[in-house]
Structure 1
Amino acid sequence: MDDRTPPSKTQEGCIGMSSTTSAQSRSAIADRLEFIGLDETELARLRSASGHIEKHLTPSLEQFYAKLAKVPAVARFFDGQASMGRAQGKQAGHWKVIATGQFDEGYVEAAKRIGLRHAKIGLEPRWYVGGYGLILEGLIKGVMQDLVAEQLAAMPKKRLFGGSTPTIDVEALSGVMTAMIKAVLVDVDMAVSIYFDKLTEEAAERDRA
């Protein structure tokens, strides 16, 4: 979400994490996916809507970052519009990975960098979680509208203009929405877990000093 490091903070390369932390273990992502029920069937539903997600991602991000610019507590993490634009570009790339269900080692490393960076600059989780809620709001509305339009377009015209009322496949729609929301929540969990792992590690180091 951020693109600037306050001068008082350490450089990113100096930040390390124990290999035993909850969000960095080898099975971290697999455990999360299994618990929340994002199996191959669910991931296939997510991928089926990836084009719609990407379509509505840009306007959702633009609206989100426009709001950030008006909130001093968060805007201070950016060095102007150029900095915010770079952050938006990085966010877009990360969300596209989520939309295609690529929860692999590369994804875990990216999530780790995000969590560490937020811990480094002091970006509280409430801004990160709240921001994802705003972005997800735009995606849910846009993707839902697209999927309903697709179903209506696929129906025979006699059903659309005849006496019977067109029936939307609610189960199919809810399946896609559920998969998308689960994927986003897994991503939030990863970043926030890494954030708190880092703070816990730093507190332990201070206690040992």
Structure 2
Amino acid sequence: MPTISTAITHDNKPLDDSVNLPSRLHFLGLTEKECQIIRRIEPYITKAIPHALDIFYDLVAKEPKTKIFFSSKQHMQQAKQAQLGYWRHIALANFGTQFADTVRRVGKTHARIGLEPRWYIGGYAVILSHIIQDVTAQLVPAVPFLPPKLPLRELASSFACLLKAVFLDVDLTISIYIEETKRSNKEEMAKLDNAIEQERQFITQSFGHIINALADKNLSLSVEGDLPTTYLPMRDDLNHAIATLCQTLNIIKETTGSIDNTADEINSAARDLARRTEKQAASVEKTAAAVEQITATVSSTAARVLEANHFVKDCQTATEHFGTMIHRAHEAMKGIERSAEAVNKITNVISNIATQTNLLALNTGVEAAHAGEAGSGFRVLAQEIRKLANRVGNASEEVKELISTSQNHVTAGSSIMKDASNAVGTIISNVANINSHLQEITKATSEQASALKDVNSAIATIDQGTRENAAMVEETSAATANMAQRTRQLRHLLGEFTLQN
């Protein structure tokens, strides 16, 4: 009598090699003898199967987690009919090709629809418990004193063998379920890996050319086209970042252009200001030299006027003394002949004084011409001095003539001496006026010299400030030139970027 393993392996289409059915049969101890024991209660099992399946599918219809696997009542009825035939094969202990195909199909179906083993095992427990109850009720009378149709020991042996067969079916089905799930998961993982790789290549291509463009300083591109939902925020953020960067660089580009133009204007103005400052410094320097020269001239003029003042005082004293002598000569006319020689000397002195006075007046006029407006008073004074000198010279000549003719005009000498006395008085008065004017000139030239020293000091301060301004202008010009160069460098760097409009 063939064993179960012989019956199964004899088929052209055995179970998967991974199931290793002989080892399972050996472990369960399910031999052909035990299959015969199962077949002994086969009629009773077949009779009990419909009721057990009705109870089971009622539970399935009430359980939401199992109900979802059936699209309709008809679908559930078809499954129940298939289960009926399947359990009959178990009751007949027929583990041939049809059983193997059914186990394979059931295991793959459970894996495909995602039916967890707990529902399959639970369903077998419900069905098997009701089958055992029904078979027991058929073989063991409810009346205690009636003998059972099958001895209880044999009934227990039949149930034990049936349990082995059922658990063999459960074991094989779940094993195929696990193998099919692994294979399906492997295929899904392969599909997932393939999808991930395709998505990676797509994303790399979508973002890669943008990144390469950014590396080449090209900001005119953006990520376009449809992308997976996960990458949409990244696309929007990158496009927004590129647009913001373009806007910023455009603003910087415009600003650098404005700065460049402004720097050129400032640099041009600074150069022009430097030229003007240099000219101004040269003008101030010339002015300072001229004022210094004028100051020296006025100081020298003041010294000469002071000397002239002393000289005029001496002349005044001498003239007064001369007047006294004239007066004495008038009183002592008779001694004029004896004093002719002395008078001749006096007239020589007067002539020399007139000559010196005339020379002094000439020098005074020259200095007054040099002094310009400041020497206008001096010029008038010089004219007066020359007139006075001429008059003194004329008087001296007259005195000489009087002396030469004194012998013939002794009688008229008194009258002439009176006229001479009046002339000397006039001279003394004029010399006093000259002295007064010279004192005023001395005071004015002193004040002018002091004022010119202050002006010279102020011009020196202006000259120093002008030189410092010139140095600051040069520094400003250098700074603006450097800024313009840096701005042009920045514009050149910005020009290497390709920006969006």
TM tier, smaller: 0.7 to 0.9
* Equivalent residue number for residue 19 of structure 1: none
* Residues 103 and 172 in structure 2, CA contact (< 8 A), matched pair in contact too: yes
Q: Which has more radius of gyration?
A: 2
SS in 1 for 2:176: helix
Q: Which has the higher contact order (CA 8 A, sep 6+)?
A: 1
* Residues 33 and 39 in structure 1, CA contact (< 8 A), matched pair in contact too: yes
* Equivalent residue number for residue 3 of structure 1: none
Q: Given the alignment of the two structures, is residue 192 of structure 1 paired with residue 174 of structure 2, yes or no?
A: yes
Residue type of the alignment partner of 1:178: A
1:116 aligned residue (104, 108, 115) = 108
* Equivalent residue number for residue 173 of structure 1: 155
CA RMSD, Structure 1 to Structure 2 (Å):
2.5
Residue type of the alignment partner of 1:116: K
Q: Which runs of 5+ in 1 are unaligned?
A: 1-22, 153-159
Q: Which runs of 5+ in 2 are unaligned?
A: 1-14, 194-501
Residue type of the alignment partner of 1:173: L
Query: Aligned partners of 2:74, 2:35: CA distance in 1, in Å?
Result: 34
TM-score, length basis structure 2: 0.33
Query: Aligned partners of 1:26, 1:203: CA distance in 2, in Å?
Result: 17
Listed one character per residue, the Cα deviations across residues 32-68 of structure 1 (whole Å, up to 9, x for unaligned) are 2222111111100100111100100000000100110
2:67 aligned residue (75, 96, 105) = 75
Q: Given the alignment of the two structures, is residue 36 of structure 1 paired with residue 28 of structure 2, yes or no?
A: yes
* Equivalent residue number for residue 86 of structure 1: 78
* Equivalent residue number for residue 50 of structure 1: 42
TM-fit CA distance, 1:90: 0.3
* Equivalent residue number for residue 62 of structure 1: 54
* Residues 39 and 91 in structure 2, CA contact (< 8 A), matched pair in contact too: yes
Listed one character per residue, the Cα deviations across residues 79-135 of structure 1 (whole Å, up to 9, x for unaligned) are 121110000000001010011011112211110000000100101111111000000
* Residues 38 and 183 in structure 1, CA contact (< 8 A), matched pair in contact too: yes
Pair 148,140 (structure 1): closer, same or farther in 2 beyond 3 Å: same
Residue type of the alignment partner of 1:195: Y
* Residues 19 and 176 in structure 2, CA contact (< 8 A), matched pair in contact too: no
* Residues 50 and 84 in structure 2, CA contact (< 8 A), matched pair in contact too: yes
Query: Aligned partners of 2:135, 2:17: CA distance in 1, in Å?
Result: 33
Listed one character per residue, the Cα deviations across residues 139-167 of structure 1 (whole Å, up to 9, x for unaligned) are 11111222224xx9xxxxxxx58xxxx69
Calculate percent identity across the aligned residue pairs: 34
Query: Aligned partners of 1:106, 1:187: CA distance in 2, in Å?
Result: 13
Q: Given the alignment of the two structures, is residue 182 of structure 1 paired with residue 152 of structure 2, yes or no?
A: no
TM-score, length basis structure 1: 0.77
Aligned length: 176
